[in-house]
Structure 1
Amino acid sequence: MKKNMIKRGILIGTLVFMMVMAGCSGSSDNNGGNDGENGSEELTAFPMTVTDTAGNEITIEAMPEKIISVSPTLTETLFAIGAGDRVVGRTEYCNYPEEVANIQVIGTFTNPNTELILDLEPDLVFSSGGVPEEAQALFDASGIKVIVLADSQTVDQIEENILLMGKVLDLNEEAAAVNEEIEAERTAVKAALGDVEPKRVFVDLGYYYSAGAGSFIDSIIVEELGAINIAADGEGEWPQISEEVIVEKDPEVYIRNVTMGGGEAEPMADSLQGITAVVENQVVNVETGSPDNDIMTRAGARVGQTIRFYAEAIYPEKFN
């Protein structure tokens, strides 16, 4: 039991840290260097200069053939747009799609192995966070370009990131097709919901860390689904909310990332037994490290599934 709790703490701590770091490294404008152009109609020509979400201008001299991804979200997106065969390195947290298991691990999001990355001789590194100054100097000296694409704050910004990746890799049509799938799911969910009475929702990513205003999860809950995120007024994008505040806000739906022991979710705290979500059996348990856990927390090419996940969790009566 103690071992499981420690493991869960490591997983959740890593998850929250990755989300915080990814969010802090980008700009909310997130224009991705597309300058209003339609990604599906562009003809890619090299060299090209793009602006990443950190505000860096990067000139790509030729078609990138060998790519390192330092983000599970970006790895998923690379495969979704058809660039999976160019990925030569990924973090140990990159687990989707299955093919990533055959790709060289280059460390973690927080501690990538710079020497190993240099040995792989990539043309391009995609990261969702800033690169340490020393590592950046080594990459510059080796001619390795780095593009920072921080986790987006809205679905529209996610689509902009996808188009930018398609542009840089000369996969404009493929990127546009991914966005079309996202839009189709987005439209279908809104049609299924119709006019709904807003429900109060709390998303517990672990140890009461949640999705605050400015996070893509908040955007989905509020803007896409019309629900009320009780953590929206917390401090920062990923605030930790006290049990007292949760009781006061009284969520009608409680979505939580939990460890499942023997198929059973760990019990809710005694202090939360009286909230509406518990009383009315509207607690949605998502196992730490499960496919649903990835879908609910990654702002990438599967965001259409993310929208549907939250819609079905919050308004199950609309999908039965």
Structure 2
Amino acid sequence: MRPVRALGAVIAVMTLAAGCGGSDDDKPADAGKAVTVQAANGAVTVPATPKRIVSLSPTHTETLFAIGAGKQVVAADEYSNHPAQAPKTKLSGFKPNAEAIIGYKPDLVVLSDDMDGIVKSLQKVKIPVLLEPAATKLDDAYDEITDLGLATGHVAEAKKLTDDMRTRIQQTVAAAKGKKLSYYHELDSQLHTVTSKTFIGQVYGLFGMENIADKAEKAAGGYPQLSREYLVKSDPDLIFLADTKIASQTAATVAKRPGWQGLGAVKGGGVIELDDDVASRWGPRLPEFAKAIGDAAQKASA
């Protein structure tokens, strides 16, 4: 995957402004009966326990498998690389092809973005579609998991998952209390990053960290590009690399960048190599992202 394309994919899914599907107005599932889920595209009636689900979102694919609905998924998009058994295909969530999707004869399609009017195209042929956009806060992520649990007949499993995620994240945050730290989160080697306004930034915010990008943003929608001079001058305590896959960045490659050798994070072992996917998705592996931040904070505060 080329860095530029991957960055576009990250920003596309993380900056969607549409409201996430809430669970407050969802009707409880009755055995053998259709259910209604309140998604971003309105009230969606889903057949009882759909058996042919198409997922056009890597995050939602992860969720479906995590709540026990994996066997109901017949196709997933090209970026659905987790878990390994996900039925990854050439379907695209960024350039969706209605005809290709319909070819899988789905009784439910789940996606995070309504690219090219795909929701309406599928609704025209009576296929239920759940639009569950990129989360803008933690509660959005939990609500979407709840929605998918209701839609697939896995309500109890979804609740168990969200309860576990909340507990693990809370425990990680509690264990990481220490001195106030500054950080830089790298999306690509061109120094695109996130501010505290983004979902990713809010996860860091749980740890009380100071984002060096907050003062640099100028109408960049939460995703500014920093200059090398600005970053070196800011000298963050921690550097988190979320481009280890898309750009092959490591602590070693960062140390070789002009002017970076003198950064405290580089000299003190404060460069953390993240899993790009874990750091950009708002699903079941969120606690892993939080754990990586928490471990780095603990080490830096020791």
Counterpart for residue 73 of structure 2: 87
Q: Given the alignment, which residue of 110, 113, 126 partners 2:97?
A: 113
Distance 2:266 2:207 in 1: 21
Q: Given the alignment, which residue of 23, 26, 32 partners 1:34?
A: 23
Counterpart for residue 244 of structure 1: 229
Which shows bigger deviation, 270-279 or 142-151?
Answer: 270-279
2:96 touches 2:115 (CA, 8 Å); kept in 1?
Answer: no
Distance 1:254 1:24 in 2: 22
2:107 touches 2:127 (CA, 8 Å); kept in 1?
Answer: yes
Which shows bigger deviation, 90-99 or 307-316?
Answer: 307-316
> Which amino acid letter does the alignment assign opposite residue 176 of structure 1?
K
Unaligned runs of 5+ in 1: 1-6, 287-291
Distance 2:260 2:93 in 1: 34
The DSSP-based 3-state class of the residue aligned with 1:232 is helix
Counterpart for residue 299 of structure 1: 282
Distance 2:46 2:93 in 1: 23
Distance 2:250 2:203 in 1: 32
1:106 touches 1:116 (CA, 8 Å); kept in 2?
Answer: no
Counterpart for residue 135 of structure 2: 152
> Which amino acid letter does the alignment assign opposite residue 126 of structure 1?
V
The DSSP-based 3-state class of the residue aligned with 1:202 is strand
Q: CA deviation at 1:216?
A: 1.8
Aligned length in residues: 294
Counterpart for residue 211 of structure 2: 229
2:80 touches 2:88 (CA, 8 Å); kept in 1?
Answer: no
The DSSP-based 3-state class of the residue aligned with 1:150 is coil
1:18 touches 1:109 (CA, 8 Å); kept in 2?
Answer: no
2:251 touches 2:273 (CA, 8 Å); kept in 1?
Answer: no
Distance 1:93 1:214 in 2: 25
Query: Percent identity, aligned pairs only?
Result: 25
Q: CA deviation at 1:48?
A: 3.5
- CA deviations on 1:258-289 (whole Å, 9 max, x unpaired) are 34499954644213333322233312234xxx
- CA deviations on 1:136-155 (whole Å, 9 max, x unpaired) are 44312321122111121222
> Which amino acid letter does the alignment assign opposite residue 168 of structure 2?
E
Distance 2:39 2:230 in 1: 37
- Does 2:158 align with 1:170? no
Instruction: Give the aligned CA root-mean-square deviation in angstroms.
Output: 2.6
2:77 touches 2:92 (CA, 8 Å); kept in 1?
Answer: yes
The DSSP-based 3-state class of the residue aligned with 1:88 is strand
- CA deviations on 1:123-173 (whole Å, 9 max, x unpaired) are 11111111322x444312321122111121222221111111111112110
- Does 2:261 align with 1:270? no
2:62 touches 2:83 (CA, 8 Å); kept in 1?
Answer: yes
Q: CA deviation at 1:116?
A: 1.9
Q: Given the alignment, which residue of 269, 275, 288 partners 1:281?
A: 269
Taking structure 2 as the reference length, the TM-score comes to 0.87
